[in-house]
Structure 1
Amino acid sequence: MVALALAAIAAIIVRATLLDFYYIGSGSMEPTLNPGEGLLVDRTAYRGHPIERGDVVVFDGRGSLLPYESDSVLDDLLRALRLAGDDTVFVKRAVGVGGDTISCCAADGRLLVNGTPVDEPYLYDGDAPSEQQFTAVVPEGRIWVMGDHRSVSADSRSLLGAPGGGMIPVDRVIGRVERIIWPADAARDIVGKAAQ
């Protein structure tokens, strides 16, 4: 019994500090990530390293994509113990980082990052980079995120007029998606590809 309790505590510590596991519940990141797939997330990826354009990140959307949801120590504890759902956790691609200007779109339809049109080979087949016209300057300490399946993704574009402008504070990023580990026959590494 003691060994089982210690193993459970060790698992909680690992998941809270090193590696974590999440399921994909929507199609907003297709074709990179598909509904039902299990993700291995590196919680140490950004300790001493900045988030880079192209990284696929997991983040807590309270205060950004969920602008009216606030932090709760009890909720955080229940999530760490896996006694509550992850309904405030999102997976998106970092398209812009602090200091970037992101806009839609260039004459050829591509997104502009700092005035330069970028190629995005990860986009869902048939989707435009964005149907919504916008220009946003990403403040330091925040990132601009978008789903790879742009036509169905609720992302930074959705909250341009809300507090925080839909941009994610870097301290709300849980980690970087490293690998699909479930189902076993779909296992593969996820390599962030910077928009270029």
Structure 2
Amino acid sequence: MPLWQETVLLLAGALVLAIVIKALFVQAFYIPSESMEPGLVKNDRILVEKPSYWLGGEPQRGDVVVFKDPGGWLGPEDVSEATNPVTRLLTKVGLYPSGGHLVKRVIGTPGDVVECCDDQGRLMVNGKPIDESAYARPNDVGCAPGTAGKCFGPMPGVKHWKTPPVPKGMLFVMGDNRAHSADSSYHLCTANETDCTDSPWVSAGLVVGKVMAVVWPAGKVRFEHRPDSFDPVPAP
């Protein structure tokens, strides 16, 4: 086979392989905002793996997941696409990080009740306080007396909120940067809202996969693991 034909064949095979890997196994994304700081910083490049949620696998409490917009969660600046034709093509086949998605941590799974907060400013899941100091950034304003700078609410206009049980097939998610994340707690209709039509839930069907690694910048390359903070949480 002539060299040019071999080259074309190899390039075509590489593109097909990249598309298959993106569709079934691993996809690259970038972090669009500061909502997951301190662990994931804006413009970090991450890899998301998909097999964990195959064959009945479901997101677990503590997983950091990438998901499609449930409806109105993303701003215009978060859904902009690449204008360079080469970059756009590489994004389509999975060889360049894409945007237009959200990255949050799973706090509640079906049946769970999430509550903010105990007297130490900690979130509670099914009545069990969660120690999130290993990964989340606490609030410095809006906290209950004595918990400023240590509460992991957040507290959206009130000092206490509590969700109904998470519906079947849904998730309650939050950013690690609790004071700067338009997440499930942001979209939660609190007790003093009488005309709220917003929904805090994210359908598990919208989840693309679980964050497995940070791959850029070079000095931050690492694998991501589910924290053990949620291990003591009882079943709903």
- Match status 1:54 vs 2:66: no
Residues 15, 93 of structure 2: 8 Å contact kept: no
**Structure 1 residue 158 and structure 2 residue 212: aligned?**
no
1:154/1:127 CA distance change after superposition, 3 Å: farther
TM-score by length of 1: 0.84
Shift of 1:90: 0.5
* Alignment of 1:14 onto 2:38: no
Question: 2:66 is aligned with what amino acid?
Answer: V
Deviation of residue 86 (structure 1)?
2.6
Aligned to 1:72: none
Provide, for residues 123-167 of structure 1, a one-character-per-residue CA deviation record: whole Å limited to 9, x for no partner.
115463112332112111111000000100110012224667221
What letter matches 1:157 in structure 2?
S
Runs (4+) of structure 1 moved beyond 3 Å? 62-66, 78-83, 161-164
Distance 1:194 1:138, change over 3 A: farther
Deviation at 1:45, TM superposition (A): 1.3
Partner of residue 75, structure 1: none
Structure 2 letter corresponding to 1:59: F
User: Please, which runs of 5 or more residues in structure 2 have no aligned partner?
Assistant: 1-7, 75-88, 139-148, 190-195, 231-236
Give the percent of matched residue pairs that are identical in Structure 1 and Structure 2: 36
What is the Cα deviation at residue 99 of structure 1? 0.4
Higher gyration radius (CA): 2
Number of aligned residues: 184
More strand by share: 1
TM-aligned CA distance change 1:80 to 1:164, over 3 Å:
farther
Higher relative contact order (CA 8 A, sep 6+): 1
For residue 155 of structure 2, what is the aligned residue in structure 1?
Answer: 131
Distance 1:127 1:107 in 2: 11
CA apart distance, 1:64: 7.0
Whichever residue aligns with residue 61 of structure 1, its letter is: D
